[in-house]
Amino acid sequence: LEYHPEVLGEYTEARNVQYRILGITLAALVWTFLLLQACFGSWRLSAIAFLGLPAALAGGVLAVFAGGGVVSIGSLVGFLAVIGIAARNGILLIERFQHLERHEGEPFGLGLVMRGARERLSPILASTAAIIAALLPIVLFGHIPGLEIARPTVVVIMGGAVASALVTLFILPALYLAVGAKAERQGEIALA
> Tens digits of per-residue pLDDT, 151-173?
889 999 999 999 999 999 999 99
- CA distances 86 to 3, 5, 18, 82, 171, Å, are 54, 49, 22, 6, 13
First to last CA, the chain: 78
Residue 182: per-residue pLDDT: 58
Report, in angstroms and rounded to the nearest whole number, the Rg of the chain calculated over CA atoms: 20
pTM higher than 0.85 for the full model? Answer: no
∠ CA 180-131-154, rounded to 5°? 110
Beta carbons of 88 and 96 less than 8 angstroms apart: no
Rounded Cα–Cα distance for residues 108 and 112 (Å): 6
Residue 71: per-residue pLDDT: 79
**Helix spans in 41-109 (H):** 43-50, 52-66, 73-103
Q: What is the pLDDT of residues 75-102, one digit of tens each?
A: 888 888 998 999 999 999 999 999 999 9
Residues of the chain falling short of pLDDT 70: 7-8, 181-192
